[in-house]
Amino acid sequence: MSALFNQQLIFGLLGGLGMFLFGIKIMSEGLQKIAGNKMRKIIGALTDNRFIGALVGIAVTAIIQSSGATTVMVVGFVNTGLLTLVQAIGVILGANIGTTITAQLIAFNIGKFALPAIGLGAGLKLFSKNKKYTYLGEIILGFGLLFLGLTTMKHAFIPLKGSADFQHLFLLVGDYQLLGVLIGALLTILVQSSSATIGITLVLASSGLISFETSVALILGENIGTTITANVAAIGTNLAAKRTAFSHFLFNALGVLYILLLMPVFIRLVSALTPGDADFVIQTQAQASSFAAQIGDKPYIARHIANAHTLFNVINTLIFLPLIGFLAKLSTLIIRGADNHENLQVKFIDDRVLNTPPVAIGQARRETRRMGQLALEMVEETSLFLDDGHIKRIRSLKKKEQLINVLQHEILDFLVKLSQRSISTETSRSLSSLMDMVNNFERIGDHCEDIWKLGIHKYEGKIAFSYLGQNDVSLIAEKTGEFLQFVIAAMETGDQSISSKAIEYEDAIELLENNLSQGHIKRLHTGECAVQPGLIFIDILHSYKEIGNLTYDISETISGEQ
Return d(Cα 536, Cα 41) in angstroms, integer. 49
55 Cβ contact list (under 8 Å, min separation 6): 94
Return d(Cα 119, Cα 96) in angstroms, integer. 32
pLDDT at 406 over 80: yes
List, for residues 440-496, the tens digit of each pLDDT value: 999 999 999 999 998 888 887 787 777 777 888 889 999 999 999 999 999 888 878
Q: What's residue 43's pLDDT?
A: 66
Q: What's residue 342's pLDDT?
A: 45
168-to-1, 6, 171, 209, 407 alpha-carbon distances in Å: 11, 18, 5, 11, 59
Return d(Cα 201, Cα 178) in angstroms, integer. 16
In a domain, 508, yes or no: yes
271 and 403 housed in the same domain: no
Domain boundary among 301, 334, 367: 334
Longest dimension (CA), the chain: 112
Number of domains comprising the chain: 2
103 and 176 housed in the same domain: yes
Band the pLDDT of 237: cuts 50, 70, 90: confident
C-beta separation of 484 from 379 below 8 A: yes
Domain boundary among 306, 334, 362: 334
368 and 310 housed in the same domain: no
Using DSSP, state whether 73 is helix, strand or coil. helix
448 and 528 housed in the same domain: yes
pLDDT at 296 over 60: no
pLDDT at 7 over 80: no
C-beta separation of 50 from 370 below 8 A: no
Give the domain range for residue 278. Answer: 2-334
518 and 473 housed in the same domain: yes
In a domain, 48, yes or no: yes
Above pLDDT 90, what percent of the chain? 31
List, for residues 156-189, the tens digit of each pLDDT value: 776 666 566 666 666 666 667 888 899 889 988 8
DSSP for 425-464 reads HHHHHHHHHHHHHHHHHHHHHHHHHHHHHHHHHHHHTT--
Mean pLDDT of 201-222: 87
- Does the predicted model carry a pTM greater than 0.75? no
Going by C-alpha positions, the residue among 57, 61, 58 that lies closest to residue 83 is 57
188 and 46 housed in the same domain: yes
Band the pLDDT of 45: cuts 50, 70, 90: low
C-beta separation of 50 from 191 below 8 A: no
Mean pLDDT of 398-413: 92
Q: For the stretch 35-45, what's the b/e string if a residue is b when 16 or more beta carbons lie within 10 angstroms of its beta carbon? A: bbeebbebbee
Torsional sign, CA 343, 349, 351, 352: positive
374 and 425 housed in the same domain: yes
Identity of the amino acid at 131: K
CATH number, position 390: 1.20.58.220
Residues in the chain: 562
444 and 374 housed in the same domain: yes
In a domain, 346, yes or no: no
C-beta separation of 347 from 80 below 8 A: yes
- Segment among 365-369, 452-456, 557-561 with least mean pLDDT: 557-561
32 and 95 housed in the same domain: yes
List, for residues 523-538, the tens digit of each pLDDT value: 766 666 666 777 888 8
Torsional sign, CA 49, 53, 54, 56: positive
356 and 325 housed in the same domain: no
Using DSSP, state whether 424 is helix, strand or coil. coil
Highest mean pLDDT among 48-52, 112-116, 404-408: 404-408
284 and 405 housed in the same domain: no
321 and 398 housed in the same domain: no
